[in-house]
Copies of this chain bind each other. A is one copy, B any other.
Amino acid sequence: MAKELRRAPGPPERPAPSGLDDLDRRLVALLAEDARAANATLAAELGVAPSTCLTRLRSLRERGVLRGFHADVDLARVGLPIQAMVSVRLAVHHRDRVAAFRAAAPGLPGVVAVYHVTGQVDYLLHVAVADPDALRDFVVDHVLSRPEVAHAETSLIFEHVRGTAVGPPG
């Protein structure tokens, strides 16, 4: 679907392929690591004036490089000690049905993340629930009950840790 072939006289949107300079990249890395860092702190670490830092931050938000800032919550400590990855295979691959599932999935109760993937399964649902019963209820009531779902398989998640892809200064 993504036709980025000739980007030339086309859309008025910013085509900027990776129009990020070194300062932008370092700011993104700092915020990936600590999204609550004060602007003054960020500026000091980057070696620029706070006002410059602010301008950059705004620009990164506007360009969609930074989509938001979220707390990393220990789900077990907020009453959701059981996490699972539910692999979902859809039956009918009609656009509408896929779209319906895609639209509904992130809002299903307990869903932490949704991955639309290639391969044996179509979706991976990362869910967090209070107890085993809630897990079964989730799969039965919200996944298997959907007409477009052909099959679902549940794996428990022992551990889920963040990687370093964008986090650390690297």
Binding site for B on A (CB under 8 A): 18, 20, 25, 28, 31-36, 63-75, 77-80, 85, 102, 105-120, 124-128, 153, 155-167
Contact = CB atoms under 8 A, between A and B. Distances in A.
Contacts of A28: 71, 73, 78
A116 B70 CA distance: 23
Given A77-B18, A117-B85, A124-B85, A71 B161 contact: no
Given A77-B18, A85-B124, A163 B111 contact: yes
Contacts of A68: 33-34, 71-72
A78 B20 contact: yes
Most chain B beta-carbon contacts within 10 A, residue among A69, A85, A108: A69
B69 A161 contact: no
Contact of A156 (B63, B117, B127, B162): B117
Contacts of A66: 71-74
A88 B31 CA distance: 30
A155 B75 contact: no
Given A72-B70, A153-B119, A155-B118, A106 B35 contact: no
B73 A127 contact: no
List of 4 A-B pairs having minimum Cβ-Cβ separation, nearest first: A111-B163, A31-B71, A35-B69, A119-B155
